[in-house]
Structure 1
Amino acid sequence: MPNRNFLIPLSIALGLFTVVPPVMGQALLPRTLQLDGTQLEQQGLFLAEEAAQLARFQQFELALARAELAAQLAPNAPQTWGILGSLYLQSKELPKGIAALERARSLDPENHVVMFALGSAYFQQQNYQQAINSLQAGLKLQPDVPGALFDLGNAYYMTRDYRQAIAQYERAVAQDETFWPAMNNIGLAEYEQGNASAAIERWEAALSIDSEAAEPMMAIAVATYAKGNRERGLALGEAALQIDPRYGEVEFLVENLWGTRLMEDTKKFLETPRIQATLAQLAPTPHQH
């Protein structure tokens, strides 16, 4: 990595301060036409690295400005487009992000990281089949990446191909036995297929990995209540909401891929007096920020 203390100002790098008065009779040719393309590309790569560093410190606006300039200076370098695409996604600019990542992929078709990022981007765009295609392409290059397998499972889940979704989640757990979100989502897929008991088993397995995971705890609460064990269901629901009150919000649950069947039972559960009282108790007061 270059020493940042010796960063040459971009204006100097572009040769803007190197124009000398022409000799009389000499044709005036701006020095900027004689720029070394390699130097420009190096400056672009340097800016891309700076953008990545700024992004790590959550300085996204500064990072994005540098990444955009980096892509202009080094348009044939796939990493500049990859960083730019990732920052656009971070800024919720999905079309721009996908366009930049597709440019990166065209320049470096063997880059699995770009494929995985595209899969995530297409998923956010609700283009689930394209997400599946991109993630599968990345996994052919770099198989058995738990996060990518999890994303692929989610894409299949959203197309209601629950068998394939469960298969990908299982592969993710096989690679990382502590990856409780994959185990949790197997439960979501099982519940949507009407397999409540199998779903509860998976959620309990997720909870055994992380005893403070509010999502599987809340899911067990809803399913247990729906099966008729109301006292245990309500007690678990109260405990889950104490950990994370967001699991009492319908919109948040839908964002976390809770399906139609589970949401029908969850809405009934959330309307019970005990859960309503718990949510009211946990609601922030006007003085809280």
Structure 2
Amino acid sequence: MLKRLLPVSLLVSLTALGLAQPGGLTQTLLPYTLQLNPEQFEQQGLALAQEAAQLAQFDQIELALPRAQLAVQLAPQSAKVWSLLGSLYLQKNDLDQGITALQKARLLDPKSASVLFALGSAYFQKAKYTQAVDYLQAGLKLKPNIPGALFDLGNAYYMQKRFQEAIAQYEKAIKQDANFWPAINNIGLIHYEQGEIDAAIRQWRTAISLDAKAAEPQLALAVALYTKGDREQGLALGEAALKLDSRYADLKFLKENLWGERLLKDTKRFIATPRIQASLVRTPQPLLPRTAP
């Protein structure tokens, strides 16, 4: 048996879990010392982490986070538990604490591609694109055929204006998953910024053929058609796109989804048309405005 002196806050948590008895604390000012098998600590921590992961799957982040915080105290040598904690912080947009937890996970398991991918995503969200590229590349060396990671790396290159390298990564993602329309959509974004409107239109038509309910390529195609002079088809397609998801009428939301300056300028003019404005008045606003990945 290993004696471990626990902080009072942890003792209270353990008491609530039925692992400790609080009697000694009411008798004296001395801290209560528990004698527990270290393996029991770790197993309880892993169990809490599993419970936190299940809650996270149902978007119960506020309930999952304290369980994960306690889990890393009980199982501090588990890279998976630290990784889970980091991912929960990222979902709460607490990027700094997320990176701290993920770096701890990386120290415990340097060969975890998922941790490297998560770090790449976190640094991308902090607009630190060089670090994002480094971590994503490192993860892809370990697991080279992950469509989501290839897509993230393409996005990081895109933000660095390394457009051909971005397209190469998007194409790799599509090769792994032919139905991965976000990568096709983003190739269209690059073509549009380079003035290759017809090439962009072809990409967006392909993306729509893969997912008819994807609002983003529909609106992008609508703007492109309208700008080229096919106003009736563009307006009709734009109305349909905004009925699917009215968030895409928000230029800030579009910029967060990597729409470039040329496309944003044309979209601003398109959204200002009376027909689209009238359509937005008739369209119910989304209940959960969350940025697309």
Alignment partners' CA distance in 2, 1:29 and 1:234? 71
Q: CA deviation at 1:243?
A: 2.1
Helix, strand or coil for the counterpart of 1:217? Answer: helix
Q: 1:4 — aligned with what?
A: none
How big is the alpha-carbon RMSD for the aligned residues of Structure 1 and Structure 2? 2.1
Larger radius of gyration: 1
- Which deviates further from its counterpart, 102-111 or 45-54? 45-54
Q: Within 5 Å, give how 1:29-40 maps onto structure 2.
A: 31-32=33-34, 34-40=35-41
- Return the letter of the residue paired with 1:240: A
Aligned-partner Cα distance in 1 for 2:58–2:250: 30
Change (3 A) 1:29 1:105: closer
Q: Does 1:57 align with 2:61?
A: no
State the secondary structure of the residue aligned to 1:177.
coil
Preserved CA contact (<8 Å) 1:241 1:247: yes
* Distance in 1 between residues matched to 2:123 and 2:86, nearest whole Å: 12
The aligned amino acid for 1:10 is: L
2: CA distance, partners of 1:112 / 1:213: 29
Q: Is the 8 A contact 1:15 1:31 kept in 2?
A: no
- In 2, Cα distance between equivalents of 1:256 and 1:167: 19
TM-score, with structure 2 as normaliser: 0.85
Give secondary structure in 2 for the equivalent of 1:109: coil
TM-score (normalised: structure 1): 0.86
Q: Which runs of 4+ in 1 moved over 4 A?
A: 12-19, 28-31
Cα distance change on mapping 1:171 and 1:60 into 2, 3 Å: same
- For residues 58-103 of structure 1, the C-alpha deviation after alignment (integer angstroms, 9 at most, x for no partner) is 2222211111111111111111101111111111111000100010
**Structure 2 unaligned residues grouped into runs of 5+:** 1-12, 25-29, 286-293
- Partner in structure 2 of residue 3 of structure 1: none
Q: Deviation of residue 30 (structure 1)?
A: 6.5
The count of aligned residue pairs is 267
Q: Any stretches of 5+ residues in structure 1 without a counterpart?
A: 1-8, 20-27, 285-289
Separation (CA, whole Å) in 2 of partners of 1:147 and 1:207:
19
Percent identity over the alignment? 60
1:171 Cα offset (Å): 0.6
Partner in structure 2 of residue 216 of structure 1: 217
Residue 14 of structure 1 contacts residue 40 of structure 1 at CA under 8 Å; is this kept in 2?
no
Give 1:22's aligned residue.
Answer: none
